[in-house]
Amino acid sequence: MLDDSSISPQSRYAVINRIASFYYSQGKSDDMVLFLTDWVETHPGDSYNAYWLFMVASHYLKLNEEPIAEYYYERIITNFPDLLVNGKSVHFSCLQHLIQISKRSANRINYFNRVIHDFPQQVSITEMYMRIALEYEKVGEWDAALKSYELFLEQPDSSTIQIAGLPNAYTKARQTVDFSKSSKDWTFETLDELENAVKKGITSYNWRALDRYRSKVNFFAMSWKSSESDPNALENFSMHNFMLGNRIRYLDTLDESSTPTEAYLRTWGWTSYVNVWYLYFRKVDFPADPEIHGRWEWAGIYFGEKL
């Protein structure tokens, strides 16, 4: 039947699909792969070639031969026009698999961009912008990452979307964009400089200096049980309100739980209802600006004793 030049494309599709399925059902998957790949090579004009290679790629994916599957999926979206099989786009299915199995960020960026451009109605554009922003970060394309975060924030569901593996997507995007647009003039070269400046401000009751030292974006003041993503954790108050008439003290050394990227200074005497405050210092993680990346900031306050 395949040698019959008068056979219709639909009939030829049915025959090839039946032969491939027969090989597979008989446990002759190697024969199926050889049959389909040979057909594609010898019949470049077959409008269903993308689907035949998709069957080959899916076979290797089931065998956990991901590099081989990736080769065929990539070959399909690069060299063959899209087509619908059972109402589903072959290119879209390929891109979905490629996003899952590709190990290179540069490739994943390409796949995300193609999905956003070609299949915006079949995915969550909001999630796509977040995921592509993370990939841009991995390859150091900071301008593109920031632009993607901004596009994410522009989506109406950005603050409510639930993204698997990214529980604080909105907070990360909001903080990254806000920090990028800020002056960043509150940061210190080293942790020692920041610690000494804050201690001096407390000792001299210089609330104006302490207000200058606090981060001007993403600063939080919350209990240990709260989260930075909690709207009530973001505070914009003056230290003057808590220093006036109080006797503030602090430990000489940072808390023992401090790490090379985070530090805690125990202080007390602030209020009668929450006497102890832990001042939270952290190393700035912002590779987009090498002059700021690695400096230190006073990023927040934890109320009460450590849990």
Give the residue among 107, 2, 100 at the shortest CA–CA distance from 48: 2
In Å, what is the CA distance from 22 to each residue of 27, 39, 42, 58, 63?
9, 16, 21, 16, 19
Q: What is the pLDDT of residue 26?
A: 87
Say whether pLDDT at 13 is over 90: no
Handedness of CA 116, 122, 124, 128 (dihedral sign): negative
Q: What is the mean pLDDT of the chain?
A: 92
Q: What is the pLDDT of residue 244?
A: 83
Higher local confidence (pLDDT), 272 or 172: 172
Distance CA 228, CA 219 (A): 9
Structure confidence by residue, pLDDT tens digits, 95-132: 999 999 999 999 999 999 999 999 999 999 999 999 99
Q: What is the pLDDT of residue 242?
A: 87
In Å, what is the CA distance from 209 to each residue of 67, 191, 212?
57, 17, 5
Distance CA 58, CA 224 (A): 48
Distance CA 283, CA 304 (A): 23
Percentage with pLDDT > 70 across the chain: 96
Structure confidence by residue, pLDDT tens digits, 145-156: 999 999 999 999
In order of their start, the domains of the chain are 1-122 (1.25.40.10), 124-181 (no CATH), 191-303 (3.10.450)
Region 234-261: mean pLDDT is 88
Give the residue among 276, 76, 44, 176 at the shortest CA–CA distance from 85: 76
Region 245-252: mean pLDDT is 92
Give the residue among 291, 269, 274, 292 at the shortest CA–CA distance from 282: 292
Distance CA 56, CA 62 (A): 10
Q: What is the pLDDT of residue 227?
A: 72
Region 216-239: mean pLDDT is 78
Say whether pLDDT at 28 is over 80: yes
Predicted confidence band of residue 228 (pLDDT cuts 50, 70, 90): low
Q: What is the pLDDT of residue 229?
A: 63
Percentage with pLDDT > 90 across the chain: 78
Predicted confidence band of residue 235 (pLDDT cuts 50, 70, 90): low
**Structure tokens given for 226:** 């709260």
Say whether pLDDT at 6 is over 80: no
Specify whether the CB–CB gap between 197 and 214 falls below 8 A. no
**Structure tokens given for 180:** 């990028």
Structure confidence by residue, pLDDT tens digits, 277-304: 999 999 999 999 999 999 999 999 999 9
Say whether pLDDT at 233 is over 70: no
Sequential DSSP letters for 169-201: HHHHHHHHHHHHTS--TT-BSSHHHHHHHHHHH
In which order are the strands placed within the sheet that holds 276-283?
A: 220-223, 296-303, 276-283, 262-268, 249-250
Region 48-67: mean pLDDT is 95
Predicted confidence band of residue 230 (pLDDT cuts 50, 70, 90): low
Residue whose token pair is 């019959």: 4
Structure confidence by residue, pLDDT tens digits, 169-209: 999 999 999 999 999 999 999 999 999 999 999 999 999 99
Query: Could you tell me where the beta strands, DSSP code E, fall in the chain?
Result: 84-85, 88-89, 220-223, 249-250, 262-268, 276-283, 296-303
**Structure tokens given for 168:** 């604080």
Say whether pLDDT at 89 is over 70: yes
